[in-house]
A = this chain, B = another copy of it.
Amino acid sequence: MKALVFDISLTVKEIPCPQPRNHEVLIKILFSAICNTDLEIIKGYMGFKGVPGHEFVGEVMTRSSYLFGKKVVGEINCSCGECYLCQTGRKTHCPNRTVLGIQDHQGVFAEYIVLPEENLKIIPDNIPLTSAVFTEPLAAAIEIFEQIQIKPSQNVYIFGAGKLGLLISQLFRLNGCLYTTFDTNEVKVKKALETGINASLLSSLGESDKAEVCVDCTGNLSGINLALSHLYPRGKLILKTTVAKSEKIDLNQIVINEFEIIGSRCGLFEPALSLLSQGLVNPQPLITAIFSFNEILKAFETAEKPGSLKVLIQH
């Protein structure tokens, strides 16, 4: 099968089709999408080599599966189910896990993948496939609401109006709270405003303006210190940024202000599909371009441009 392979560089190659083992099924990829993590991976993040990609919709090809012929999305963490973390409700943190396109598991920028049957969710008929491909990042956005209580009376600052920042913003809009999404990029702020998000240029934020909850999805190393400087004492900072470096942090301010910093990663697919199916989250305005698989290198070039949001690939 044809696949995009990352070694030192990105190349499209013929590689063997993956074979399902144990409880896995074979899935034909219909659409995939490029995530910031993919862009970090091709810079060396996680030391991953092979086929990247983890956002997809596909069709199950394994005849013996009850999902045969169904269009599905899939949870990217493949866990052992037996360790302490799996047994205590933390399967996405299983130390024995593989992660689709990120860790020891060939990803979705290919014709086929394999995943455990239990990782798959059938896509409701009324969700367009180009929206369903957002299920995984939307689940990651929803994870925030699994982790902490957001009170509708609280004010919230979201830093970063990128792909993830805008999905998160749509969720805060549903909560009814007073949120503002900040970005330094005028094009992104304009785009966010067009999609009904309460967005603003970062330069409009006063030095002493503060929020009860801040979300850092800037994707920049400096995002955490920016967000902390706009957090009320006893406020909560949700950290979504993953970058390949360490940052200096003033620990005193965390103690003195009793800040709470909460790292946030993967989330649940069911509520994501529910919100997409009800039309309460609409990811369509976040699509910058759709490329055919033959143009996947061009798709990556587009995804790397500063004003870009989500780039899809039709397989």
| Partner of A241 from B242, B250, B255 at Cβ < 8 Å | B255
B248/A247 in contact, CB under 8 A: yes
Q: Is the CB of A261 within 8 A of B258?
A: no
Give the complex CA separation of A37 and B88 in angstroms.
39
A201 within 8 A of B: no
Bound complex: CA A265 to CA B259 (Å): 10
Please choose the segment from A177-185, A232-240, A304-312 that sits at the chain B interface, where 4 or more of its residues have CB less than 8 A away: A232-240
Closest residue of chain B to A247 (Cβ to Cβ) is B251
Closest to A256 in B: B265
Q: List B contacts of A255 (CB < 8 A).
A: 239-242, 263-265
Distance between Cα atoms of A248 and B246 in the complex (Å)? 6
**Residue in B242, B247, B258 whose CB lies within 8 Å of A147:** B258
Q: Nearest B residue to A249 by beta-carbon distance? A: B249
Find chain B residues with CB under 8 A from A224 CB. 251
Q: Does A260 contact B (CB under 8 A)?
A: yes
CB of A67 within 8 A of chain B? no
B234 A242 Cβ-Cβ under 8 A = no
Per the 8 Å Cβ criterion, residues 202-250 of A in contact with B are 221, 224, 232-234, 239-244, 246-250
Residues of B within 8 A of A232 (CB): 85, 90, 93
Chain B residues within an 8 Å CB radius of A17: none
Check: A254 CB closer than 8 A to any chain B CB: yes
Q: What residues make up the interface of A, taking CB atoms closer than 8 Å to B?
A: 85, 90, 93, 147, 221, 224, 232-234, 239-244, 246-265
